């Protein structure tokens, strides 16, 4: 069946020296592969663009191997089963998995997750009901565990992870301050996501803005950005504060060093700082996904997405996401 189908795929053509650009990628067309025993052929409906992919474009030692040149860019996808040689799947099933930036993938059935596209829109399973949502859930509820009345900060607050983080912290009873780029995103964070305040880091008044937004100090930071944003928040930490270090996208993941301006506060405030990579915590995925999809379906957790149309526009969607073009989860609609 698959032999007649053509598969467009986007590969990494070369590595960026600094900022990633669409010229780092190349699109090719090849015949779609046939599933072997235990495998499933999936037609991609959505593919994901995520910050970690920028890190994988560098040829450096990290928590995952670098993206190989001339190979399909690895990514999450949400799609529909076309052909199955695995007993757990049949044509028409909606699934998510690591399919990459292409029209079709052939995946081991053991690595696919069946999802209910009647409960939530299919693309939600790449966002708040997928890896970014679990990242938010784990870092917020398990690492920081905010208490009622405490002050909680999250950066990249209008993004896929940050938007979920702030809402979860708010539902735990914390006062929640977001940090985002520009007045429109800050308005979205306060008016649509329900945060108590939002600091526009591009306005250039980080110290004064944190002082105004957090008069009683800060008890928890969910850090997605690093650099000046983290430094300014750390200056207001309270004793026994917790920091969940989730990402450092402020650097653009260009493989440069990521200094913290003053480590003294970590000592004097007896801070717990925990760096984490969500793939190290598979045991939290089932409970987190069940909780998150229930909150979304019941309207307790709101979410947005920025959808780019067409597989061929995936590199542009990725580059745009890295510079803040997205509100909520950045996705590409393939078919």
Ligand X SMILES: NC(=O)c1ccc[n+]([C@@H]2O[C@H](COP(=O)([O-])OP(=O)(O)OC[C@H]3O[C@@H](n4cnc5c(N)ncnc54)[C@H](OP(=O)(O)O)[C@@H]3O)[C@@H](O)[C@H]2O)c1
Q: Which is nearer to ligand X, 185 or 236 (CB)?
A: 185
Q: Among residues 97 and 132, whose Cβ is nearest to ligand X?
A: 132
Q: How far is the CB of 149 from ligand X (least distance, A)?
A: 26
- Cα 1 versus chain centre, distance: 35
* Residue 79, beta-bridge partner list: 44, 95
Nearest-approach distance from CB 306 to ligand X, in angstroms: 8
Pick between residue 241 and residue 330 the one whose CB is nearest to ligand X. Answer: 330
Smaller CB separation from ligand X, 184 or 262: 184
Helices of type H across 201-284: 206-213, 227-234, 264-268
Number of H helices and number of E strands within the chain?
A: 9, 15
Nearest distance from C-beta of residue 213 to ligand X, angstroms: 16
Q: 120: number of CA atoms within 13 Å, CB side? A: 27
Q: Rounded to the nearest whole angstrom, what is the least distance from the CB of residue 183 to ligand X in the complex?
A: 11
Give the ranges where 198-330 is alpha helix by DSSP (H): 206-213, 227-234, 264-268, 285-297, 314-322
Name the residue nearer to ligand X (CB basis): 42 or 161. 161
CB of 267 to ligand X, least distance (A): 24
Catalog residues that contact ligand X under the rule CB under 6 A: 50-52, 132, 135, 156, 158-162, 180-181, 185, 201, 224-225, 246-247, 249-250, 276-278, 321-322, 324, 326, 330
Give φ, ψ of 124 to 5 degrees.
Answer: -60, -25
- Min dist CB 294 to ligand X, Å, is 21
Distance from C-alpha of 11 to C-alpha of 275, rounded to nearest angstrom = 30
322: left (phi over 0), alpha (psi -120 to 50) or beta: alpha
| CB closer to ligand X out of 40 and 144 | 144
Residue placing its CB nearer to ligand X in the complex, 27 or 316? 316
CA distance 192 to 289: 22
Which ranges of 103-243 would DSSP assign to H, the alpha helix?
131-137, 160-171, 183-187, 206-213, 227-234
Tokens of 204: 């250039």
The least CB distance from residue 54 to ligand X, in Å, is 8
Helix (H) or strand (E) holding 176: strand 175-180
């Amino acid at each position: 069946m698959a032999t007649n189908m053509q598969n467009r795929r986007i590969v990494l053509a070369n590595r960026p020296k600094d900022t990633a650009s669409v010229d780092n990628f190349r699109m090719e067309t090849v015949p779609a592969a046939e599933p072997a025993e235990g495998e499933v052929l999936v037609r991609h409906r959505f593919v994901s663009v995520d910050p970690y992919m920028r890190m994988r474009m560098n040829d450096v030692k990290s928590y995952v191997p670098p993206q190989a040149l001339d190979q399909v860019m690895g990514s999450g996808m949400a799609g529909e089963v076309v052909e199955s040689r695995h007993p757990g799947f049949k044509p028409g099933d909606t699934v998510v998995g690591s399919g990459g930036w292409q029209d079709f993938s052939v995946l081991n059935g053991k690595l696919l997750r069946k999802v209910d596209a009647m409960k939530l829109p299919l693309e939600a399973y790449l966002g708040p009901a997928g890896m970014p949502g679990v990242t938010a859930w784990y870092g917020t509820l398990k690492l920081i565990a905010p208490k009622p009345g405490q002050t909680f900060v999250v950066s990249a607050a209008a993004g896929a992870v940050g938007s979920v983080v702030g809402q979860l912290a708010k539902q735990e009873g914390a006062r929640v301050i977001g940090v985002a780029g520009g007045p429109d995103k800050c308005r979205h964070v306060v008016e649509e996501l329900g945060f108590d305040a939002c600091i526009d880091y591009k306005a250039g008044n980080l110290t004064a803005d944190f002082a105004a937004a957090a008069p009683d100090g800060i008890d928890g930071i969910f850090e997605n950005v690093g650099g000046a944003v983290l430094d300014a928040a750390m200056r207001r930490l309270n004793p026994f504060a917790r920091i969940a270090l989730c990402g450092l996208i402020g650097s653009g993941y260009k493989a440069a060093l990521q200094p913290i301006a003053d480590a003294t506060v970590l000592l004097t405030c007896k801070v717990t700082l925990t760096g984490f990579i969500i793939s190290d915590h598979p045991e939290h995925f089932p409970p987190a996904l069940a909780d998150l999809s229930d909150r979304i379906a019941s309207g307790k957790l709101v979410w947005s997405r920025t959808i780019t149309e067409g597989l061929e526009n995936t590199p542009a969607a990725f580059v745009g996401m890295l510079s803040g073009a997205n509100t909520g989860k950045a996705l590409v609609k393939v078919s």
